[in-house]
Structure 1
């Protein structure tokens, strides 16, 4: 190798080392400048992950405790302490339990309390059950006029039957004619119009 080649090789090595040191200095400046942001980001991500894991563990524990309380209530429905525990752990599950007990016992007062429930469908179902148990024409009509009433057609059939018992046949016929032909109660409605309302 000639001296010129050696000098070129040394220059190349120095240039590459120079570039390496230059990049190291730039990286060091970047790290110093954004050190707090990077540390904050790592801490925030760590706290989020830990918080999420803690939340999920707590939610799972609460769910298990609520299920245990429900099993205890199935064994002993009169256990007030377990009922209070269920209410604190899962208000929605508590309302479902209370609804099931009120329906079996035909407890209209409890059904009326549940009409303000936040549990899915419980408010609608308890409104219907209370009106049906009372055989209250006004409540059945009000229920059947609700936009998304689950038992709308059934409430109309029951209202028509009450009207038939009161000998208000035209009103009963009007109620029954409001039931859609695609409803599962369409045949019942037609039968009542044919045999019950003339």
Structure 2
């Protein structure tokens, strides 16, 4: 029996070695068949990793340069080199810098930065007492200063003697708003009108 066990053991070993060699041959034939595709995919993956790393590095470098340039513009608004750096590295930050410079001069320039654009439109409407513009701003659901626009619209209407329209406008300001206290004061004044 021991001889039979030895023979069975040798057969099992040969079968396992045979299966191993068979799998190696299959892998080798698969590699030979798809060699170009495999090399291409590996190359693309390596190039993509390198490109992403370089892009991240450049973005970080531009962010640091833009922040330094913005600090320079804040301290010295006449620094044209810093403004040019901002324009090249971060266009939105450049527009913020231009907005801050114009604000110092009492102007409100056109900008594409969302909140600054709304703030600029709001300030222009206030400066010109434009009820229609204040009304259109207050109708925008995502306008940051919606309730203050409504309050200022009512204030302009009061100054024009349109008390009923002002009362209607003030009712649009919710009690939970920061402008509700101002609204209450103006409504108190309007009780006699």
Shared fold by TM > 0.5? yes
Q: How many residue pairs align between the two structures?
A: 192
Q: Which residue of 2 aligns with 1:87?
A: 87
Distance in 2 between residues matched to 1:29 and 1:168, nearest whole Å? 89
Q: What are the residue-to-residue correspondences of 1:4-23 with 2, within 5 Å?
A: 11-23=11-23
Matches within 5 A, 1:11-90: 11-90=11-90
- Identify the residue that residue 186 of structure 1 maps to in structure 2: 180
Task: Describe the superposition over 1:138-179 as per-residue Cα deviations: whole angstroms up to 9, x where unpaired.
Answer: 222221122211111111111111111122211211211221
Residue number in structure 1 paired with 2:158:
164
Give, in angstroms, the shift of residue 101 of structure 1: 2.9
1:103–1:129 contact (8 Å) kept in structure 2: no
8 Å contact 2:69–2:82 — kept in the other structure? Answer: yes
1:118-152: CA deviation from partner (whole Å, max 9, x where unpaired): x2422222211221233322222221122211111
What residue ranges of structure 1 are gaps of 5+ in the alignment? none
Aligned match for 1:142, one of 127, 130, 136: 136
Deviation at 1:79, TM superposition (A): 2.2
Asked whether 1:100 is paired with 2:100, we answer yes
| Unpaired segments ≥5 residues, structure 2 | none
User: Greater CA deviation, 90-99 or 61-70?
Assistant: 90-99
Q: Alignment RMSD, CA only? A: 2.3
Q: Is the 8 A contact 2:167 2:190 kept in 1?
A: no
| Aligned ranges 1:101-140 → 2 under 5 Å | 101-108=101-108, 110=109, 113-114=110-111, 117=112, 119-140=113-134
Q: TM-score, normalised by structure 2?
A: 0.86
Offset at residue 11 of structure 1 (A): 4.6
Q: Report the TM-score, using the length of structure 1 for normalisation.
A: 0.84
1:156, 1:100 → 2: CA distance? 25
CA gap of 1:189–1:33, structure 2 versus 1, over 3 A, is same
Q: How far is 1:30 from its partner?
A: 1.4
1:92 offset after TM fit, Å? 1.0
